[in-house]
Structure 1
Amino acid sequence: MLEPVKFSTYHGGARKEGLLDFSASLNPYPPEWLGEMFERAKEVSNRYPYYEKLEENLSELIGEEVTVTTGITEALYLIGILALRGRKVVIPEHTYGEYERAARIFGAKVVKGPNEPEKLAELVERDSVVFFCNPNNPDGRFYRTKELKPLLDAVEDKNALLVLDEAFIDFVKKPESPSGENVVKLRTFTKSYGLPGIRVGYVLGFSEAFKSVRMPWSIGSTGVAFLEFLLKDNFEHLRKTMPLIWREKERMERALGVKSDANFFIKRVGDAKKAVEYLKRRGILVRSCESFGLPEYIRFSVRKPGENERLIRALKDVEREMGNGR
């Protein structure tokens, strides 16, 4: 009758308490208004959470029309409803796994290609759909508009659709975000506000189409309260905390010999499973990149200074134990 889709839903994030969690790539500084926000959520939890006016206000703040979704993940499945059935879907080899999962759920033909935009552009066909994460997960590479141009041109020439996942763009210094008639952009507040349990994101582009298929009341009363406080905050929280994250990111780059444009890194350790278990015994959780097709790498995020120092020391021990991944 009903057959399961055989594709893992495992992602980063601690499944149990007691570990210092570097596996989820989040802002480690929560908003000062978090407690007030939860009190507001209680106040509005006895009615259906409509948020059309808040969505309009968010559009004004962003500077273009947005469609609010329950994080980027809901947006991926709305794209499935709107555009994936029977289509060719082009996905980079090493990237976020939900693109492929959503594509297969909706019966799309999945084609894997290189992570470089210029080479990926060669796989674009008429009416196909391309998923591209920028900055990419798990390696944190950010591609400027100039670098994306071959892919943007190919999508336009073939009347294809480019789904640009910008989940981590708030962590990029001086980011750029291309636009186009065949481009839909996905963003979320989950990462930059460090609140993965509050599922609020938004889509830029094709607003009428997305609003026609999304679930009613999907963000719930907590999401409504979050939007209210976000609008009052006017992104001040990001202006305060991003410089703190950037400073620590640069320190970690120097200490560990890694590089990223986002708030997380990958590092070659030889055997990711073994490294993850070793670090767990030290009370630290990192992400194995095996699900990204990179079984020799781990991924870890930027946290607060003292926590980062603890990770740096532990990773140096891993290098000594495992021969620096070689």
Structure 2
Amino acid sequence: MLEPVKFSTYHGGAREEGLLDFSASLNPYPPEWLDETFERAKELSNRYPYYERLEEELAELVGESLTVTAGITEALYLIGILALRGRKVVIARHTYGEYERVARIFGARVINGPNNPEKLAELVERNSLVFFCNPNNPDGRFYSVEELKPLLDAVEDRKALLVLDEAFMDFVRNPESPKGENIVKLRTFTKSYGLPGIRVGYVLGFEDAFKSVKMPWSIGSLGYAFLEFLIKDGFEHLRKTMPLIWREKERIERELDVRSDANFFIKHVDDAGEFVKAMKKRGILVRDCTSFGLPEYVRFSVRKPEENSILIEAFRELGEGF
């Protein structure tokens, strides 16, 4: 008999039409070559998308050897296959829920700790595994290499493994990324290119292990075409659009008294469920943070200037003590 897994988690993103969606933290500016990507995908759809050549070219662009995956989600399940069975797994209390879900699916022993690298380091044991999101989701806090040092040292000293989720790192100004033999880094193009339907990401570290268990053709013809144009573009799209997002992020920080290192914020609203309903009546979708263990907070992203103005006005109308 097959039994369902009882631990589940809710994710952002609109499930209904007609709402201005601030619940998913995405780049609001699509690439100029998006239409060409779809046309190229049609040309490729009648054959199996072997992408080893593109993987090598992407590695040259990034500057490190890597494994292409269908977003970070596939990478998490590959980690489950490779490393989670029966292992102690350390996860911060208020972070992306898929870490704990995957850990429990693969029979790991989950220990939750503070959202703080130094405090989390105290829970690291020999041969354990740590999931850490940087910048963290949902609060957007980014930790420098110096701030991560206690956790990095604990992982190295105790022969543990650190899985560092850098999904939102492209949105951070002048980001740093640590290096080490006991580190696996997860990255995705879903967020920074605003294309959650095109499942393309990559893993840095332990390439032989990840390549030995990854699915064949996991990214499909659309992902293959996306990679072709992304490599040709050379991350120019990010260089053009990130300053636009940073400028609007600073405006939202001033107007709503919030802070973040990423492209999203959390804000205290007393009752997140009721606040989300009130926002929906105004045609706006924000993220209820209850699934993060924060039922008094909502999360919202940075969008285009005219859209952000609508959000700011709605927050003012509803008031902080909603």
The Cα of 1:7 is off from its aligned counterpart by 1.9
Distance 2:165 2:139 in 1: 14
CA contact (8 A) 1:296 1:325 kept: no
Equivalence for 2:24: 24
Q: Structure 2: how far apart are the matches of 1:27 and 1:252?
A: 16
Q: Which residue of 2 aligns with 1:109?
A: 109
- Secondary structure of the corresponding residue to residue 186 of structure 1: strand
- Secondary structure of the residue aligned to 1:217 is coil
Unaligned runs of 5+ in 1: none
Residue in 2 aligned with 1:264? Answer: 264
**Contact map agreement 1:26 1:194 (CA 8 A) in 2:** yes
Q: Which amino acid in the other structure matches residue 24 of structure 2?
A: A
Q: Distance in 2 between matches of 1:87 and 1:292?
A: 23
Ranges in structure 2 where 5+ consecutive residues have no aligned partner: none
- 1:281 is the counterpart of 2:281: yes
Residue identity in the other structure for 2:278: Y
**Structure 2 Cα separation of the partners of residues 160 and 187 of structure 1:** 21
- What's the counterpart of residue 120 of structure 1? 120
Corresponding position: 1:79 with 2:86: no
Identity rate, percent? 80
Counterpart of 1:156 in structure 2 is 156
For residue 64 of structure 2, what is the aligned residue in structure 1? Answer: 64
Indicate the SS of the match to 1:139: coil
The residue type paired with residue 10 of structure 1 is Y
Contact kept, 8 Å, 1:271 with 1:325, in 2: the verdict is no
CA distance in 1, matches of 2:10, 2:198: 18
Q: TM-score, normalised by structure 1?
A: 0.98
**Which residue in the other structure is 1:325 paired with?**
321
Q: Quote the Cα distance in structure 2 between the aligned partners of 1:303 and 1:7.
A: 32
Q: Give 1:16 shift.
A: 1.3
Q: How many residues align?
A: 322
Taking the aligned partners of 1:77 and 1:179, their CA distance within structure 2 comes to: 23
- Secondary structure of the equivalent of 1:325? coil
Question: Is 2:161 aligned against 1:165?
Answer: no
Deviation larger for 191-200 or 6-15: 6-15
Pairs within 5 Å for 1:285-324: 285-319=285-319, 324=320
Mapped partners of 2:143, 2:170: distance in 1:
14
Q: Is the 8 A contact 1:117 1:148 kept in 2?
A: yes
Shift of 1:9: 3.8
Q: Deviations over 1:172-214 (max 9, x none)?
A: 0000000100000000000000000000000000000000000
- Post-superposition Cα deviations, 1:262-297, rounded to whole Å, max 9, x if no partner, equal 000000000000100000000000000000000000
In 2, the alpha carbon distance for the partners of 1:7 and 1:16 equals 24
Query: Which segments of structure 1 move beyond 2 Å, counting only runs of 4 or more?
Result: none
Q: How does 1:135-284 map to 2 (within 5 A)?
A: 135-284=135-284
Q: Tell me how far apart the structure 2 counterparts of residues 154 and 244 of structure 1 sit (CA, whole Å).
A: 38
1:151-177 per-position Cα deviation (integer Å, ceiling 9, x unaligned): 000000000000000000000000000
Is the 8 Å Cα contact of residues 126 and 160 (structure 1) preserved in structure 2?
A: yes
In 2, the alpha carbon distance for the partners of 1:257 and 1:159 equals: 42
C-alpha distance in structure 2 between counterparts of 1:135 and 1:55, whole Å: 25
Distance 1:198 1:204 in 2: 20
- Following the alignment from structure 2 to structure 1, what is the Cα–Cα distance between the partners of residues 18 and 147? 42
Give the alignment's Cα RMSD to 1 decimal.
0.6
Question: Structure 1, residues 9-48: CA drift from partner, whole Å, max 9, x if none?
Answer: 4200000110000000000000000000000000000000
Question: What secondary structure, in the 3-state scheme, does the structure 1 residue paired with 2:151 have?
Answer: helix
CA positional deviation for 1:8:
2.0
User: What is the alpha-carbon distance in structure 2 between the residues aligned to residue 317 and residue 158 of structure 1?
Assistant: 52
Q: In structure 2, how many angstroms separate the alpha carbons of the residues matched to 1:46 and 1:271?
A: 50
Q: Quick one: distance in 2 between partners of 1:29 and 1:268? A: 28
**SS of the residue 2:25 aligns to:** coil
Distance in 2 (CA, whole Å) between partners of 1:10 and 1:119 is: 27
> Conserved in 2, the CA contact under 8 Å of 1:279 and 1:314?
yes
